[in-house]
Structure formats: C-alpha cells, structure tokens
Amino acid sequence: MSQNSSNVITVEIHGQQYPVQSQLAAPYVAKLAVYVDEKMTVAAEETATGDSLKVAVLAALNIADEYFRCRETDKSVVSQAAERAAQIEALIDRTLASDS
C-alpha cells in the first residue's frame, strides 16, 4: 500500500494494483483492500476457475451475504434492546405505583 497523493491510495487486490481515489483515511482504505483481497483469495480457492471476473463476482456475493447477515443481526439486537427497555420501564412504573 502506498499513498501517491493526498487522496489517491494504491492498493493490491488479487495480485493487481489499483489506484483508489478516496476522501477516507488511507489506513482505512488499506484495511478494506486487505479484506477484499482475502475474500478474493477464498473465492479463488473455492472455484476451479482462473477467471478473475468470476472470482470477483463470487467474492462480492460472499461480502453481500455477510453484510445482509450483519444487518439482520443488528436489527435483532436493536429489537431485543427495545423489548428489554420496555420491560424495565414497566418494572419501574410498577415499582413507583406500588410505592405511592
């Protein structure tokens, strides 16, 4: 990884170098590139093709699957937290009502 100018970062993904223009911090873009590179490596190992496009599509599908699963997990956690907050609020209301 190298930063060629204030907002162009060169990253390596699946053996290819790509200049990425971004306003994001260079270390963050580098982390993203490492993650994508790892997903490309896994996808390449899972398929018997040398076709980079097919490997990239499989990697993209795997990343999309992870994203959607995380999003569903987040929704579930938020829902559980809201339910728990409502239970606590009801308990407080009952406690205050019994004290009066």
Confidence of residue 5 (pLDDT cuts 50, 70, 90): very low
Look at residue 62 in the predicted model and tell me its pLDDT: 97
Q: What is the pLDDT of residue 6?
A: 60
- List, for residues 36-74, the tens digit of each pLDDT value: 999 999 999 998 888 999 999 999 999 999 999 999 988
Asked whether 42 and 12 are in contact (CB, 8 A), the reply is no
Distance of CA 90 to the CA centre of its chain: 36
pLDDT band at 4 (very low <50, low <70, confident <90, very high): very low
pLDDT at 26: 95
CA distances 20 to 37, 51, 90, Å, are: 14, 23, 52
